[in-house]
Amino acid sequence: MTQNELNIIGLAFDIIGVVLLFFYEPPKPEIGAILLESAPSKSDRDKIKKVKKMVSKIALILILIGFSIQIYSNTIQ
């Protein structure tokens, strides 16, 4: 692979990671807010929190891999 191809692959990983973080931000701690009757149940909130945590970790890993590939592509001749 050429340096430019590796750079493009690294950028693609970064873009995917950032888009995932945009839609699945890391879960925030609950702050004892008043819930409405139409609010999701505790188990539903826990499931959503678990998915957000998993996807945000994957997104951060993709971003780190993308930057690593870009750094590597700049070191090869």
pLDDT tops 90 at residue 16: yes
Q: DSSP readout, the chain?
A: --HHHHHHHHHHHHHHHHHHHHHSPPPPPP--PPPPTTSPPHHHHHHHHHHHHHHHHHHHHHHHHHHHHHHHHHH--
Q: pTM of the prediction?
A: 0.78
pLDDT tops 80 at residue 12: yes
CB 58 within 8 A of CB 19: no
pLDDT tens for each residue of 17-69:
999 999 988 877 776 666 666 777 878 888 988 999 999 999 999 999 999 99
pLDDT tops 90 at residue 10: yes
